[in-house]
A and B are shown apart, each in its own frame.
Chain A
Amino acid sequence: MNAAALHPGRVQRAIALLREAVRIPELALGGSVFIGLLLLALFGDFFQTHDPGRSDLTQRFLGFGEGGHLLGTDHMGRDVWSRLVAGLQWSMACAFAANLINLVIGTALGLAAAERLGALRNVSRQVTDALQAFPSLIAAIVVVVLVGQGFVPLVLTLGLLSWPIFMRVTNAEASSLYTRDYVKAATVAGVSRIRIMIGHIVPGLRATLVSVFALHFAALLIAESALSFLGIGAPLGVPTWGNMLAESRQYVLVEPRLLLVPACAIILTVIAANLFGDGLGVHARRGRRTEDR
């Protein structure tokens, strides 16, 4: 007899998950839009109709669809659609990388705090409180200016500053998991603390962390575009949504399209990520309820 019949495999589990996902409207809507945007970013090069950096001063301010430009051209005759896709790639990559750093730092500190590693717990709490109390964008502005412009400095700044949310969620969730009977049983049975953490606590955190990851993704995307908009995130000339918005400000009278297109793109992406995260949160809570039964 093969193992797949006894244990539902990955495929079966994925199908079950999808079936459940459809029953959570936030998850279905937000998830499909978000995954669509993710695919667009991953395979962006296929979807770009023009080189996003190439300008043609004879083709400035073309409207929607004019001259083969889907969303027209900007003040330097560059293709707005291709720049939008390039901006999506930049934002997604930046938010994703920073989010991973946040996840690792926050989860590690949260687990340490929940495991009651004495001093570490106090220190991580204090640092978390302090970081969370300080206006995040102002901290990011100061740090990013010190470490310099560009992709890596931006990712490092956001990655090192905005992990407290992961720390708090992990700490709260893990602390409650530590009071569960199966964890106590494992402790009594003499399972080492490390193995309990990796084998019993971390798997229980997964669903919640995925939801926080999606929600925080939206926050990072906003922070990244705000920094670029202020002219201290992405280097000048790189096609990002923040830069596109900043450049559009000189042409609000001539061409509001240059403002509206990236504005809609940011709002759509952020809302999709928020919905996705909320839906995943509903899913995580439902999973927990069936577990408790």
Chain B
Amino acid sequence: MSELLAQLRKLIVLVLAVGCALFFLLRAAGDPAYVIAGMNATPEQIVAVREQYGLDQPLWRQFVVYLGGLARLDFGESISSGDPAMALVLDRLPHTLQLALMAMLLSIAVAIPLGAWLGARPDAPLRRAVSGVVFVLQGSPGFVLALLMIQLFAVELLWLPSIGYDAGDWRTWVLPTLSLAMFSAPSLTRVIAANVVEAMHEDYVRTARAFGASFSVTLWRHALPNALLGGAALAGVQFAGLLSGSAVIESIYGWPGLGSLLLESVSTFDFPVVQAEVFVIALLVFLVNASTDLLFKRLDPRLRDRR
């Protein structure tokens, strides 16, 4: 219970911090009325915008009104479409979650066996070569890999569509998922491999071997589960990385998620939408972090009573 309260406190700090940062950043960047009304606005339009958004009020009143909106999750209406900003964001959210989830599952499906294989005998020649490839993939920028994959699979081989999203056609999902997985699979593989290497030298593995357990049993039953715990602790960081990646990947593939919405709203200076979006993303990352935190305190006895 106290853990939940601690997480709740963190959440409140986070919401206030993100809210304040957005509020002051927008105002520090110049007169928001000009930004909202656009480059070619007439003075009358500027005045109208000031009134409409309450920008003629003193700063502290604006801030109070803004915090009130924040508490009600009300960020106002989109400047370009007039729809409630929050509704627009929530509309796109499932697509990003779908993409991130598919990429995460693919990463896990690849990283666990590959990491275990690499970590079991890290000095075998073939595995050293594969480790090298994983290292290069981990270092390479995900959006560059995405462009190269489009070139290979969509332009040269004509196997898959290069762009567009169709909820009913799985072929439009393949390249975006593969591209986004490139943001997490290589690093996850390396973490698991390193953890397996370490675990294989632990006393409990040596003891199991001494009692006659075969190499593969010690690897899969003893070393890997412990290696996975270490890897899973990174889930929150990985998820944040995937959301970062989805901003580029979605805009490359025209995937109708949060990332492409962010770029659209940012390029049209649609600040209500940007604010709602940043808020939702912060909340999302927080939820993933908090739930993995709580989950792993249950799974891993070593974490339980440490403060």
Contact = CB atoms under 8 A, between A and B. Distances in A.
B151 A270 contact: no
B143 A138 contact: no
B207 interface: no
A126 B262 contact: no
B151 A229 contact: no
A139 B141 CA distance: 18
Nearest to B17: A130
A135 B141 contact: no
B278 A142 contact: yes
Contacts of B251: 230
Contact of A137 (B25, B156, B248, B282): B248
Contacts of B245: 137
Given A141-B247, A225-B141, A133 B286 contact: yes
Interface in A87-141: 126-127, 130, 132-139, 141
B147 A263 contact: yes
Main secondary structure of the interface of A (DSSP, over half): helix
B266 to A, nearest CB: 5
B102 to A, nearest CB: 18
Contacts of A218: 139
A201 interface: no
B244 A256 contact: no
Contacts of B46: none
Interface residues of A, number: 40
A126 B16 CA distance: 13
A284 to B, nearest CB: 18
Contact of A146 (B18, B25, B236): B25
A145 B148 CA distance: 27
Given A134-B285, A142-B274, A270-B140, A232 B266 contact: yes
A223 to B, nearest CB: 9
Interface residues of B, number: 46
Given A141-B266, A146-B25, A135 B139 contact: no
Contacts, number: 115
Contacts of B267: 145, 231-232
What 8 A-B pairs have minimum CB-CB distances, sorted nearest first? A137-B244, A135-B244, A146-B29, A135-B243, A222-B141, A274-B139, A145-B266, A271-B139
Query: Which one of B17, B139, B259, B267 has the highest number of Cβ atoms from chain A below 10 Å of its Cβ?
Result: B139
B179 interface: no
A214 interface: no
- Scoring A139, A142, A229 by chain B CB atoms within 10 A of each residue's CB, the highest score goes to A142
B150 interface: yes
Contacts of B156: 256
B134 to A, nearest CB: 12
B151 to A, nearest CB: 6
Interface of A: 126-127, 130, 132-139, 141-143, 145-148, 218, 222, 225-226, 229-232, 245, 248-249, 252-253, 256, 259-260, 263, 266-267, 270-271, 274
B263 interface: yes
B90 interface: no
Nearest to B150: A252
B294 interface: no
Contact of B155 (A232, A252, A271): A252
Nearest to A218: B139
Most buried by B among A137, A148, A259: A137
B143 A229 contact: yes
Contacts of A130: 13-14, 17-18
25 contacts: A126-B13, A127-B17, A130-B14, A133-B236, A134-B18, A134-B285, A135-B241, A138-B243, A138-B244, A138-B247, A142-B22, A142-B25, A142-B274, A146-B29, A147-B29, A148-B29, A222-B141, A225-B144, A230-B251, A245-B143, A253-B155, A266-B140, A267-B136, A270-B140, A274-B138
Interface in B266-291: 266-267, 269, 274, 278, 281-282, 285-286, 289
Contact of A256 (B135, B138, B155, B274): B155
Nearest to B32: A146
B266 A270 contact: no
Contacts of B274: 142
A126 B262 CA distance: 26
Contact of A135 (B13, B135, B140, B240): B240
A127 B144 CA distance: 31
A177 B74 CA distance: 49
Nearest to A148: B29
Contact of B147 (A231, A245, A253): A245
Instruction: Identify the interface centre among A126, A146, A148, A218: most chain B CB within 10 Å of its CB.
Output: A146
A146 B34 CA distance: 12
A270 B141 contact: yes
B234 interface: no
B148 A137 contact: no
Contacts of B29: 146-148
Interface in B84-140: 135-136, 138-140
A229 B249 CA distance: 11
A147 to B, nearest CB: 6
A133 B240 contact: yes
A134 B281 CA distance: 8
Nearest to B25: A146
